[in-house]
């Protein structure tokens, strides 16, 4: 496996993945949307906007031409945010090595994608646009991971899920190192649902955590009722919702939700200080960050004003639609949707949620 590897998307996770692969003496190209980001990677060997404090291998190349970046790649990993993923993929469809199915493609983006038929999983959506070679051959990579830790060599576990066992193993072997443990799975749908829906739960978790840890002078009366056990209660109930949605959307292995791609990913997303969705939930309480937005759609349209991208915002909208489509009871996810849509206040939601559990 000495061929070219391309990462599409120079955010924190894409950059961390590129660093890990470049450290294995691979030829790695990292596509950047902005010229300044590519120039910084090539001259200073850093990506200070998305991965500050991390030095990148000197032979890792940043480029801004997405077609040239993808052309001739043996492996291509899509890391663009879900809001922009499909538009990015459409740009690389003319690439010869993709038209001929010569490039193995994996996705590390988390979320759902919109379609005329409603929200869909990422891989099934991409299969409608990519050449037929890629049907049931794409690989989805997820697990309890944060770019900031992976880039610093912290031991991390990932799942490489595909309906094509050979491709799952190829990406498993490509990524695996002494500190990055990668396991294969055939439950492509279950792993994708877990990766997307956990971000919704993490926003709710962040709100609860902010109320729980508020200083006495600004503490909300409800916060005095919350402790570590309350957070575990929310996490466990959230996992049940994720599993409920996963089964409805075709998950094939129950253990997906009790493994690292399910409970593992949910736990780290809710509890880690690196979690953007947890941070967003906390800032809903601490900074009233939703105040400038009248509804969820306006929040999505102006999401750049937040300064970072909490993927759970879009996922909350799509999970609501999916839960209604499949007639599922998902009170945490639905409650968070109502908060983001400015229909209810966080303390009202949490009070009602805990009351319903009693």
Contact 260, 157 (CB under 8 A): yes
161 strand-pairing partners? 140, 185
CA distance 120 to 250: 12
CA distance 171 to 103: 12
Is 198 among the catalytic positions?
yes
Ordered DSSP codes for 272-295:
-TT-HHHHHHHHHHHS-TTTT-SS
Q: Which of 19, 110, 198, 320 is catalytic?
A: 198
CB-neighbour burial class of residue 301 (10 A; exposed 0-12, middle 13-18, buried 19+) = exposed
Phi, psi dihedral angles at 56 (to 5 degrees)? -100, 150
- For residue 103, what are its two tokens? 């490039």
CA distance 224 to 60: 49
Q: Point out the residues that are catalytic.
A: 198
């Amino acid at each position: 496996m000495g061929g070219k590897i391309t990462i599409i998307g120079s955010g924190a996770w894409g950059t961390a993945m590129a660093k890990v692969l470049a450290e294995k003496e691979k030829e790695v190209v990292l596509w950047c949307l902005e010229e300044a980001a590519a120039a910084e990677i090539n001259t200073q060997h850093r990506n200070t906007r998305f991965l500050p404090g991390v030095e990148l291998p000197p032979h890792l190349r940043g480029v801004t031409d997405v077609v040239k970046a993808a052309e001739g790649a043996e492996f291509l990993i899509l890391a663009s945010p879900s809001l922009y993923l499909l538009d990015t993929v459409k740009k690389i469809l003319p690439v010869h090595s993709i038209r001929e199915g010569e490039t193995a493609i994996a996705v590390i983006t988390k979320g759902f994608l919109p379609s005329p038929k409603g929200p869909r999983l990422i891989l099934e959506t991409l299969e409608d646009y990519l050449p037929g070679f890629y049907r049931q051959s794409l690989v989805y990579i997820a697990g309890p991971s944060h770019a900031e830790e992976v880039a610093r060599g912290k031991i991390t576990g990932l799942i490489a899920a595909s309906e094509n066992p050979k491709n799952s193993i190829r990406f498993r072997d490509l990524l695996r190192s002494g500190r990055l443990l990668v396991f294969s799975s055939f439950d492509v749908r279950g792993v994708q649902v877990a990766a997307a829906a956990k971000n919704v739960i993490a926003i709710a978790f962040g709100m609860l955590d902010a109320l729980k840890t508020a200083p006495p002078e600004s503490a909300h009366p409800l916060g005095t009722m919350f402790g570590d056990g309350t957070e575990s209660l929310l996490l466990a109930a959230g996992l049940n919702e994720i599993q409920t949605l996963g089964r409805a959307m075709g998950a094939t292995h129950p253990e997906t939700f009790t493994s690292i791609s399910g409970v593992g990913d949910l736990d780290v997303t809710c509890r880690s200080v690196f979690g953007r969705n947890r941070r967003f939930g906390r800032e809903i309480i601490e900074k009233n960050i939703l105040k400038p937005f009248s509804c969820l759609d306006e929040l999505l349209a102006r999401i750049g004003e937040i300064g970072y991208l909490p993927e759970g915002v879009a996922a909350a909208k799509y999970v609501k639609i999916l839960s209604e489509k499949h007639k599922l009871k998902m009170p945490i996810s639905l409650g968070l949707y109502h908060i983001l849509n400015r229909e209810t206040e966080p303390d009202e939601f949490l009070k009602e949620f805990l009351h319903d559990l009693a």
